[in-house]
Structure 1
Amino acid sequence: MSGSSRRSAPWMIAAALIAAALVAGATTAASGDGPSDAPTADVASDPTLSVALAYEFLDARVDEFCDGAGHCLPRSYEGGFFTDLPTWDFTPSFVYDDALVVIAYTARGLPDDIRRAQTIGDTLLFVQANDPIGDGRVRTSYEPHGIRQGRVEITGPGTFTGNQAWAGMALARLFHATGESKYLDGAVRIAEWIQTNTADMARAPFGYTGGQLENGSSLEWKSTEHNTDIAGFFTQLAQLTGDPVWADRAAVATAFVAAMQSADGHVDTGTLLDGSTTNVYPVPLDAQTWTLLGTGDPRYGAAVDWALANLMATDGPYTGPSISHVDTSKVWFEGSGHLALALKLRDGAGDADRAEALLSSIRLGQRDAANGDGKGIVATSTDGLDSGFGDLYYASLHTGATAWYLLAAAGDNPFSLPVD
């Protein structure tokens, strides 16, 4: 196995919660949003309005679950599959999504944006400090109802390397935006956990393994996505701390990513369990887009072109990429966001038009997609998109997809610190 644990986490955790009935009778989120509340203005043709409403969606999600100490944690998914079953309302907050929300807020940078970003960042520090192991890690997901009650309730106990790096990048962004050293301190603790627990300099291609399961066992495969995350995160730490060791470690991750690129330009998902043999199935979108965003290396422009040729989907009025080559029947709006951003930043011939077409389709989904509210972005154009990693994705409102859209609209690369 190899790939992105964050991909499979929503469905796998959902299934476990259903089986155990752990969330039966959970309080339904009182967002006040719904189809009847959808704005009458045409967000599909007004990018400025669309962005403003997408931030309103995030604002409502962040403000929904807060304690008296200034900790807030937004639920990741709402509506459709994740809300409408008779006995449950799936509310967990995934740290990957939370990190994207933090970075999207810093991209606009209004005073209330920074305030909300800090409430999430302070929550990441809170769960880090109160982890039962307490060695600097964060977990896959947490229950916002617990945060609102001032306690840490872990819903996804795995410690996956990519999630660690994303939480670290969010804290690095907050330090860059605020100058408050607690955020950099928390980011360095996460980075040290990654280095201590996942660095593999014994099995070529050298790089970083997948992390740890709840029982403490290590995931021995290496993921292109995770190593891309580390390349971006450790490069940021080198800039913020002035310590060149982080640049050296980023170079290890970057070299692993390069080793995963195939002759036709596409980038494979990582390795098999032996940590060395390339895993060629499935071929995911983020290995094609994040490699360019995370390393800045123009060689991955070929991977973006491969994605445009092989991963695009059309589902009714919506056009955009899928999650992997396994199922290209539906649009993955989260992926539309980072593909649009990669095209914007590559800025080759025709890239601006391609990016705008993707953003236009997201805005159309913002207005019309099933289970939408006219503000946020749903994860997929319709239910049941097979990721190729053993799980399905659904047309439910998603903080992560919304944040990626906002980053793409702003042209803000989450893998890099803003230029002062």
Structure 2
Amino acid sequence: MSQQAFARDRRALLVGASSAFTAFLTGAMLPSPSWAASPAWMRGASTTAVRKAFDFLDTKFDEYGAGDALRVPRSYTGGFFETFISSFLYDDALIIMAWLARGTAEDVRRATVLGDTLLHVQRHDPIGDGRTRASYQADSLEIGSPAAYTGNQAWVGMALVHLYAHTGKRRFLTGALREAAWIQEHTWDGVRAPYGYTGGRSAADQPLTFKATEHNIDVGAFFAMLARLTGDRVWRARARAAFGFVAAMRDRAGGHLWTGTDPDGVTTNRNPIPEDVQTWAYLATLDDRYRRSVTWVLDQLAARDAGISGVSFSNTDVSKVWLEGTAHTALALRVREAKGDDLLARRQLWNIQQAQATTPVGDGRGIPAASSDGLDTGFGDLYYASPHTGATAWFLLAALTSNPFRL
């Protein structure tokens, strides 16, 4: 899992409100005892918090280089990750999109340099078949984790597509098409139903035969972008295939999406149930079927810890707040626009801003991965309160209401 032209529905429906959701709207869960006091959280993310978050990304990017030098920023800083220098390309893709969302001349310059770095590692990969790897070392650009996960390939592709759409530089579209061709050639499974895209290739370059809902959301969004920019209908058909797998993972009774399949590619994996696929399915498709999955996150994954509230990574552990997922949720609420969604989104953003300011190992600029150390994802990983470029970029995308899954 990741450590990222439809009109909006303006019917202002309250979708699946739970008792917790209703309690928030009526004031029972407010951080201030009085509506009349107009508490600061009602304004959401402040311009100062946004500026500091961009400053954090800029500083991380310039830690091992400057100007037009090809480089990547390390993903985590401080605390448990004090000596960690790996840069995950999923995080780097999000940074590009955050810079492009604000879009100053300096932002676009930085995004272009980072995009050129992604093209560089793609061109110089030892296998050289269009893939990129999960992570690279920020001090050397050497491969860190050699795995080639499908979702990561799609995020790199989406970032390159956004760069092409923003700058018109053909090399970014060419790189994106290479990533897309790799995904199609190495991960499409049209034999084992439900059909969709498998997990990619392991660090040992062995096929990962499970199908992840998250990966298929990413692929569907990426291929839909390619269809729009190239006019090639084959990418639209492939996007529909990926989104068909996502639809097959929907639990109609519960309103949520399952994780995906076991390695047999057929059996549904029902444990754990993560946050990201719930909000990403809606953001990527704007399909009304997934409006309930956003509400499911609010109902089932609400978490409070270290003086802040938000949502957790999965139903395995709701004792701590996952700040990246809280940003996913804030953005999904802003895009969904149901009754009360704007208020809820502002509350989520305010809490992320509080984490930015109070995390013990932070610098007051970066957003920590978790509210405190030891958040169990349910997938064999733990998250820590170390500032994280990916969480910071998601905060900025939510604060700017910029949907990375859509052009």
Structure 1 length-normalised TM: 0.86
- The corresponding residue for 1:160 is 149
CA contact (8 A) 2:79 2:385 kept: yes
Superposed CA offset, 1:254-273 (max 9, x none) = 00000000022110000011
Q: Secondary structure at the match of 2:304?
A: strand
Letter in 2 for 1:61: K
Separation of aligned partners in 1, 2:204 and 2:335:
41
Instruction: Among all aligned residue pairs of Structure 1 and Structure 2, give the percentage whose two residues are the same amino acid.
Output: 52
Separation of aligned partners in 2, 1:390 and 1:114:
37
Separation of aligned partners in 2, 1:386 and 1:46:
27
- The corresponding residue for 2:181 is 192
- The corresponding residue for 2:350 is 360
Superposed CA offset, 1:16-74 (max 9, x none) = xxxxxxxxxxxxxxxxxxxxxxxxxx999861111011101111111112278631210
Equivalent residue in structure 1 for 2:297, among 289, 293, 307: 307
Deviates more, 1:210-219 or 1:163-172: 210-219
Q: Secondary structure at the match of 1:77?
A: coil
Separation of aligned partners in 1, 2:163 and 2:68:
18
Q: Secondary structure at the match of 1:319?
A: strand
Residue 131 (structure 2) pairs with residue 137 (structure 1): yes
CA contact (8 A) 1:370 1:381 kept: no
Superposed CA offset, 1:296-343 (max 9, x none) = 211111111111110010113110010000000000000011110000
- The corresponding residue for 2:279 is 289
Q: CA RMSD in A?
A: 1.4
- The corresponding residue for 1:47 is 46
Separation of aligned partners in 2, 1:78 and 1:118:
24
Residue 97 (structure 2) pairs with residue 106 (structure 1): no
Instruction: State the Cα distance separating 1:105 from its structure 2 match.
Output: 0.4
Q: Could you tell me which runs of 5 or more consecutive residues in structure 2 were left unpaired when the two chains were aligned.
A: 4-39
Q: Could you tell me which runs of 5 or more consecutive residues in structure 1 were left unpaired when the two chains were aligned.
A: 8-41, 84-88, 148-152
Residue 201 (structure 2) pairs with residue 212 (structure 1): yes
- The corresponding residue for 1:65 is 64
Residue 327 (structure 2) pairs with residue 337 (structure 1): yes
Distance verdict in 2 for CA 1:370–1:108, change over 3 Å:
same
Q: Which runs of 4+ in 1 moved over 4 A?
A: 42-46
Count of aligned pairs between the two proteins: 369
Residue 150 (structure 2) pairs with residue 175 (structure 1): no
Superposed CA offset, 1:368-389 (max 9, x none) = 1121111110100000000000
Deviates more, 1:67-76 or 1:188-197: 67-76
Superposed CA offset, 1:65-116 (max 9, x none) = 2278631210000000000xxxxx1110000000000000000000000011
Equivalent residue in structure 1 for 2:251, among 222, 239, 262: 262
Structure 2 length-normalised TM: 0.89
Equivalent residue in structure 1 for 2:84, among 71, 80, 90: 90
